[in-house]
Amino acid sequence: MNNEYQNFSGFDKQFFSDQGHSDIKLPQLSKKFKDEVDYDESGSIVVLPYINYSLVLSNIRKLPIFVAANIDGKQFLKADRASSWKKDNRSLLSQWGQELYTAIPGFLDRGHMAKREDVQWGANKNAAQVASDSTFFYSNAVPQHKDLNRKIWKRLENYILHKETTTKNLRICVFTGPILIESDLPFAQLIEKKEVLIPSFFWKVVFYQKADGKLYRVGFLISQRQLLIRDKLVIEPELELAEDDDLFMRFSDAETYQVNISLIEQLSGLLFQEAIDSYTDDREVKLILNEVEIDADLEIFSSDNQENYEIENLIL
């Protein structure tokens, strides 16, 4: 193995073992991914390890199917942001590079699936810096509209990391990814003479332990579909949506929703480890995320029952 990767130990399934919990398993892939993942010599799905996180790539979409990260709030340290991105030589054919992100300048970000700050922790500043740098592989990126990546989604990620995890010295496991579906809209330009579908939706599932010692999980869903259409980054469909796509249209307004894990499983084609669900309402709840500082009071709002809730009551 290239020396660059030799210390990449990846996602730690025993991250909660000292808290009395068994392994935190990686999501199971449904049969729809059978022909678009790589397998090793033993027939197991290739999971690429990095520092404090791992991921599985789709060799058809050339994007991660999911990313699994360990976050230790107690060991979080500041680190400098890397200045450039690079491809992972272990799976060159299964990732897009700068050719995708620079095709229409000014709109698409290299959206980290494993957030840079999430994994920048360790025994010392150097360890945190190396971990942070390890997130700047294209294998860890998905095209995200700048207004989602730098605003809406970022505020949720910062809330989880800073307001909850680091201030309370928590350990959590975070799974993140795009929803890869056939009805994703084509990018407005061909890349290497190929049509590229841009994901419209992203999900995030957080596993954590409460004071009662039990393992909990909570899920979020966000859409960038209208942002992509607004700025003509994708080709709009000429035909009406099929009935099966109606569910996705409920989440088309570029907002963040708290949803049941079962819904994320249905949409993503993944199966997550069992835990106590913090949110079990059949109705999705829109999260109203403040435009101001990340430590401001955040609320969630349900358009179904017109009630406000403190976000702390439903998340960690």
Domain boundaries, the chain: 7-313
Strand pairing report for 185-186 and 197-198:
antiparallel
What would the pLDDT profile of 290-299 be if each residue is shown by its tens digit? 332 222 232 3
Place of tokens 């199971």: 28
- SS3 at position 19: helix
Global confidence as pTM: 0.86
Answer whether 215's CB lies under 8 Å from 16's CB.
yes
> What are the distances in angstroms from CA 177 to CA 64, 90, 223, 242?
7, 20, 12, 24
pLDDT at 202 (0 to 100): 94
Q: Among the listed ranges 152-156, 245-249, 265-269, 290-294, which one has the minimum average pLDDT value?
A: 290-294
Average pLDDT over residues 136-152: 92
H helices, E strands: number in the chain: 8, 17
Average pLDDT over residues 146-167: 80
Strand pairing report for 215-223 and 276-277:
parallel
What would the pLDDT profile of 92-139 be if each residue is shown by its tens digit? 999 999 999 999 999 999 999 999 999 999 999 999 999 999 999 999
**Domain at 7-313, CATH from 3.40.50.300, 3.30.499.10, 3.40.570.10, 3.40.50.620:** 3.40.570.10
Average pLDDT over residues 213-234: 91
Tell me the C-alpha distance between 63 and 178, whole Å: 8
Mean pLDDT (the chain) is 84
Average pLDDT over residues 301-305: 30
pLDDT at 245 (0 to 100): 52
274 is written with which tokens?
Answer: 């069992």
Asked whether residue 159 carries a pLDDT value surpassing 70, the answer given is yes
- SS3 at position 265: helix
What would the pLDDT profile of 17-75 be if each residue is shown by its tens digit? 877 667 899 999 999 999 999 999 999 999 999 999 999 999 999 999 999 999 999 99
Q: How confident is the model at residue 157 (pLDDT cuts 50, 70, 90)?
A: confident
- φ/ψ of 114, rounded to 5, equals -85, 110
197 is written with which tokens?
Answer: 């579908």
